[in-house]
Structure 1
């Protein structure tokens, strides 16, 4: 998918290989993954994102909006849509890892109720990573 390729082209040069925590396209088709694509009026994919449903939380993965489409609220709308879909499946807590060199993403997540937290799941401390959580039931 073109959006994932654009995301990788953007992120890969920013961080060392051991700090890349994306998931591949095949994993996005798993039964425990909610993956959504936003299309413009011409049917072109302009944003994507996923929530991987774990036992106790959903992890946000592969959020990306094409540069020409940024600033229009697309990412926020996509994030809220995926959270709502996850919530209907019983998932009310969300977590994410993002890079410290991505202030726009960090600001989006903060505006949407995410707060800094410690590494979760199989993540370990990484100076290149920011970890955030949101409990949708208390938000």
Structure 2
């Protein structure tokens, strides 16, 4: 499937719908106190850049964001592809584009937090296939046993 990936604002109805679909998928998997999703409004803050993947008709099929934490560290956030396009490597394309943005901006390290429960296996595969390595807790996330952490050094 040919797609385009571009920086977009999260404050669009079709992106809001994709964020809602992601939340619907994630919320049942982990206790709420150990979920750290950005809201659409937080995704619109200057420290966050959202990439949206769209199909040939312009419909969104996936997204991912990076959040700049300073000191050369960027965090991958809100990675998601709609179920009907899973297996087409769209997540890997989004992740590669996010890595490219981070490199352009002089970042030296990408980090992320994802769930540590059944249902997160597709996310683990995408990160591991794209050169991310499991690591200890990152940033200010608690090491609760409900999270899995990854990092990728860029320099």
Whether these two folds match at TM > 0.5 is yes
Q: Report the CA distance between 1:92 and its aligned residue.
A: 2.3
Residue in structure 2 matched with residue 21 of structure 1 by the alignment: 36
Residue in structure 2 matched with residue 47 of structure 1 by the alignment: 62
Which of 112, 118, 121 is the equivalent residue of 2:136?
118
Q: Per the alignment, in what secondary structure is the counterpart of residue 98 of structure 1?
A: strand
Q: Report the CA distance between 1:35 and its aligned residue.
A: 0.6
4+ aligned runs moved over 3 Å, structure 1: none
Give the RMSD, CA atoms, in angstroms. 0.9
Scaled by the length of structure 1, the TM-score of the pair is: 0.95
Structure 1 unmatched ranges of 5 or more: none
Which of 19, 36, 42 is the equivalent residue of 2:51?
36
Counterpart CA distance in 1 for 2:61 and 2:125 is 20
Deviations 1:41-79 (A, max 9, x none): 111111011000111311111000000011111110110
Counterpart CA distance in 1 for 2:52 and 2:135 is 28
Structure 2 unmatched ranges of 5 or more: 1-15
Count how many residue pairs are aligned between Structure 1 and Structure 2: 137
Residue 134 (str. 1) matches residue 152 (str. 2)? yes
Which of 58, 62, 71 is the equivalent residue of 2:87?
71
Which deviates more from structure 2 when the two are superposed, residues 3-12 or residues 99-108?
Answer: 99-108
